[in-house]
Amino acid sequence: MSNEDLEKKYVDVQVKPSSKKGPLVQPSIDGSLLVYVREPAVDGKANMAVRALLAEYFSVPKSKVNIVSGLSTRHKRYQIF
């Protein structure tokens, strides 16, 4: 296993687009994250907002946050490295 593989982290995320609570990241008991964003789920706006918020939450650049699955659903999996 390479050092790069050891540094990768996968995070399950439930997104709440068009939320008045956002921007906010709340950890869940099961280890996933509940992410509230103000942007609507139109033309990828909510996905971009979630990516930026996760980058801030994990203190990494946005380029280190990639969506792995769930591009068009509210339940997503992100890779942080």
pLDDT at 2 exceeding the cut of 70? no
Q: What number of other Cβ atoms are within 10 A of residue 30's Cβ?
A: 6
Q: And the tokens for 2? A: 């390479």
DSSP 68: E
pTM above 0.85, yes or no: yes
CATH number of the domain that residue 27 is part of: 3.30.1200.10
pLDDT at 5 exceeding the cut of 90? no
Task: Return the higher-pLDDT residue of 59 and 4.
Answer: 59
State the total domains in the chain: 1
Domain that holds residue 22: 3-80
For tokens 């439930």, the residue is: 14
- Residues 30-77 pLDDT 10s: 999 999 999 999 999 999 999 999 999 999 999 999 999 999 999 999
Question: At residue 38, what is the residue type?
Answer: R
pLDDT at 4: 52
Q: What is the mean pLDDT of residues 11-32?
A: 96
